[in-house]
Amino acid sequence: MLTHNDLQDSPQAERRFAWLSAPGVAALSLLFLHPDAGAAFRGALAKPPRKPRHLWLTNDSGNPIDEVMACRERGGILLTCHGGPAVRRALEAELLRAGFRQTQLEPFGQTTFEAATLGLLPRVQGAGVVALVLEAAAQAEALARALAGPVAELLAESAAARFLIDPPRVQLWGPVNAGKSSLLNALCGRDLAAVGQEPGLTRDVIEGRLEYDGFVIRLFDAPGIWAGHVGLDVQAQQLAQTWRRQADLTIELTVGASPHPAEGWLLHSRADEHPGCPEPSVSTRRPETLRALKDRLLEHFFGPLRRLPPERRFALHPALRADLSRLAKGEASADELRAKWLESRRSPFQTLPLPDGTRP
């Protein structure tokens, strides 16, 4: 881990680079080069601009890699580049070729709250989410006001923000041939699952990633339900049930007649084949119905958060959330938390890991 002091105190420091944002298709990425760009990108960054400037980066062979915004920052150069995996790989390849080493970089010169919020960046996915986290990082004053009053509201609001860090999981469900795999493929824009007339084609849970308007949702396709069927597919069915229990929302597809009341959302599928079927409905042959479904999903998971005034859109670090819960229960004092989160200038990064798989 590189600290701000390393950046300041070691003029001969080895050249390193760090991604300040997580990979995300179509998202922008932030890349930090320390302490300078050396000969990478054919010297395009030999004199990094003081104010953000538009530049083309090429690799050693002169092939263009990306069009970026570059700016000199304390301790190095900050690049805002395109976030697609191919671009990130090409930039990394050029930096490794030029003798850079990849590292994790501690944001510098921040208060504890800002540092912890920015520390979420490498974990969040999607351009919209990155923007919300960056916004939250500037909310130390609002946090101070919140600490002065009741915290229940702040905790409730920030509960929605957990989806910024751990994208919501949506499970597709329903009878064989309802069109689950087709819908997964259509929503994710890729052929992830095999599709066909043969009932029971899907035998496993298949994950897809839907990125829409800068927000990420995880979608899961599952083996279809056979009426009263047991046998070879029992294991697949059990697996699907396990995944379903972990989902934040189940979308049950039905063709034609409505089944028993659905647990999550009921959606009439293959609507183009069933004119006049009840709403809500979807057809992979009708893009407008896919868009309506994406809008509904985005509103469900992120709408309330996006409608909050900016000063209340906290993307709280899980450790801060835990402390605020203690405050709400009277187990910690506001003064204690103020000292820990707002007054100390020591970065909490080494002591505040975000455990894998945990939800804030």
Ligand X SMILES: Nc1nc2c(ncn2[C@@H]2O[C@H](COP(=O)(O)OP(=O)(O)OP(=O)(O)O)[C@@H](O)[C@H]2O)c(=O)[nH]1
224 binds ligand X (CB under 6 A): yes
**Does 182 sit near Mg ion (CB under 5 A)?**
no
Among residues 64, 99, 196, 303, which is the contact residue for ligand X, using CB under 6 A? 196
User: Does residue 332 contact residue 326 with C-beta atoms inside 8 Å?
Assistant: yes
Q: How many residues in the shown chain lie near ligand X by CB under 6 A?
A: 21
Q: Is residue 110 close enough to count as binding Mg ion by CB under 5 A? A: no
Q: Give the CA count within 13 Å in the CB-facing half-sphere of 160.
A: 20
Contact 253, 184 (CB under 8 A): no
Q: Nearer to ligand X by C-beta: 214 or 224?
A: 224
Long-range contacts of 355-359 (CB under 8 A, 24+ apart): 358/318, 359/162, 359/165, 359/166, 359/318
Provide the token pair at 236: 């697949």
- Out of 197, 245, 276, 357, the only residue in the binding site for ligand X (CB under 6 A) is 197
Q: Is 177 in the site for ligand X (CB under 6 A)?
A: yes
Calpha distance 255→279 (Å, rounded)? 12
Q: How far is the CB of 285 from Mg ion (least distance, A)?
A: 17
Burial of 348 (0-12, 13-18, 19+ CB in 10 A): middle
How far apart are CB 297 and ligand X at their closest, in Å?
A: 17
Q: Is 178 in the site for ligand X (CB under 6 A)?
A: yes
Q: How far is the CB of 225 from ligand X (least distance, A)?
A: 8
Residue 177: CB atoms within 10 A of its CB come to: 19
Contacted by 197, from Mg ion, ligand X, none: CB < 5 to 8 Å by type: ligand X
CA distance 130 to 118: 10
181 near Mg ion, rule: CB under 5 A: yes
Q: Which of 111, 158, 202, 281 binds Mg ion (CB under 5 A)?
A: 202
265 to 304: interface string for ligand X, x by CB under 6 A: -----x-xx---------xxx-------------------
Residues near 234 by beta carbon (within 8 Å), at least 6 away in sequence: none
Nearer to ligand X, 21 or 254 (CB): 254
Q: Point out which residues bind ligand X (CB under 6 A).
A: 176-182, 195-197, 199-202, 224, 270, 272-273, 283-285
